[in-house]
Amino acid sequence: MLQELLGLGDVMEIIIGKYSGFCNGVSNTIKRANLELDKDSNIYCLGEIVHNERVIEMLEDKGMKTVDDINLVPDNARCIFRAHGERREIYEEAKRRGIEVIDLSCGKVIAIRKKIEKKKDSFVILIGKKNHPEVIGNFSFATIGDIVENSSDIDSAIDKFRDSGLNNIYVCGQTTFEEDKFLKLVDEIKEKINSLVEVDNTICSATHDRQEETKELSKRVDLMLIVGGKNSSNTKELYNISNNNVTTYLIQDVNDLDNLDINYNTIGIMGGASTPDIVINEIVNYLKR
Ligand code: SF4
């Protein structure tokens, strides 16, 4: 894979991942939020629009108000639903109260939601983090099913499937889940159940490429910097992948480097899906100094 190579004299080499930074979904969300705010600054956003304080501040400066509960959005107001999507009940509540939804759910998240909604005759197993908004949102569109995050969740999911009286299982995943773990859990489910299991690998290609490059890059450098918001699931996955191979720091921005040992010859940098280029550039400038 091609990466950006920055040689800094004889002492340090910095390699920035080719797939570092905004994915298309986050990029579209920010563009569309900006366009909406240019037309009308009186807009609410339900939850952090992306897991990055810098981006949130920029949009809030234009008037966007971030709230963490639909009850804090006044009736008939305009409200952004972010890239992760929302629960079915929240869409229904918004409709009931005349809230105009600016739905910025990523197309890939919506595609999973629609598939889950159609699988009325299957027991849906959604592999992902139980407390992740995308998982909670998409799972709310299932008629019946369970969420599996770890191997220890599988037996209970299979018991629920048996109780359901259904014959088929449909398995899909959180778009930003670690792909190797997803495939391992799928194998474990298949080993335990003979019924027809339909598997949809819904890990987003942007996530797949970023994780693969992180794996490869972390084997070639002396230190990895994974850059992203503290609440970002995809960034935590990158940290876990990289930390298996080399010393890895998970940082939000350049300020986090102050107390860390960065005395390494080759440093790899990978930004999460919500990390703007400006944050990466500041880190590179710091390392140069
Ligand atoms: S990681 Fe993939 S699914 Fe998630 S917002 Fe980005 S493009 Fe969409």
In the chain, where are the structural domains located? 4-23+205-288, 24-105, 108-199
Say whether pTM exceeds 0.75: yes
Render pLDDT for 206-265 as a digit per residue (tens, 0 to 9).
989 999 999 999 999 999 999 998 778 889 999 999 999 999 999 999 999 998 999 999
**Interval 91-109 mean pLDDT:** 96
- Closest atom of ligand 1 to CA, residue 205: 2
Q: How far is the CA of 274 from the centre of ligand 1 (A)?
A: 10
144: pLDDT strictly greater than 90:
yes
Q: How far is the CA of 8 from the centre of ligand 1 (A)?
A: 33
**Interval 159-168 mean pLDDT:** 95
**Interval 114-121 mean pLDDT:** 97
198: pLDDT strictly greater than 50:
yes
Band of the pLDDT at 1, cuts 50, 70, 90? very low
**Which residue owns the Cα nearest ligand 1 atom 5?**
25
- Closest atom of ligand 1 to CA, residue 234: 1
**Which residue owns the Cα nearest ligand 1 atom 7?**
25
pLDDT of residue 7: 54
- Closest atom of ligand 1 to CA, residue 107: 8
Spatial separation of the C-alpha atoms in residues 250 and 238, rounded to whole Å: 9
pLDDT of residue 46: 97
Q: Is 216 a catalytic residue?
A: no
| CATH, domain range 4-23+205-288 | 3.40.1010.20
Best residue for ligand 1 mutational test, from 24, 109, 204 (most atoms within 8 Å of Cβ):
204
Best residue for ligand 1 mutational test, from 106, 232, 237, 270 (most atoms within 8 Å of Cβ):
106
pLDDT of residue 4: 52
10: pLDDT strictly greater than 80:
no
194: pLDDT strictly greater than 80:
no
The residues lining ligand 1, judged by C-beta closer than 6 Å to any ligand atom, are 23-26, 83, 106, 108-109, 175-176, 204, 206-207, 273
Pair of tokens at residue 206: 């942007």
Q: What is the mean pLDDT of the chain?
A: 93
Question: What stretch of H or E contains 91?
Answer: helix 88-96
Instruction: Write down the catalytic residue from 36, 48, 134, 213.
Output: 134
DSSP 81: E
Band of the pLDDT at 288, cuts 50, 70, 90? confident
**Interval 155-180 mean pLDDT:** 95
Intrachain domains 4-23+205-288 and 24-105 with the same fold? no
**Which residue owns the Cα nearest ligand 1 atom 2?**
204
**Interval 88-101 mean pLDDT:** 98
With vertex at residue 206, the alpha carbon angle to CA 203 and CA 209, rounded to the nearest 5 degrees, is 95
Render pLDDT for 21-40 as a digit per residue (tens, 0 to 9).
888 999 999 999 999 999 99
Q: How far is the CA of 26 from the centre of ligand 1 (A)?
A: 7
Strand order in the sheet with 196-199: 145-148, 122-127, 168-173, 196-199
The CATH number for 24-105, chosen from 3.40.50.970, 3.30.565.10, 3.40.50.11270, 3.40.630.10, is 3.40.50.11270
Separation of CA 121 from chain center: 29
pLDDT of residue 124: 98
**Per-position b or e across 114-130, b if 16+ CB within 10 A of its CB:** ebbeebeebbbbbbbbe
**Which residue owns the Cα nearest ligand 1 atom 8?**
25
Percent of the chain with pLDDT over 90: 83
Write down the architecture of domain 108-199 according to CATH. 3-Layer(aba) Sandwich (3.40)
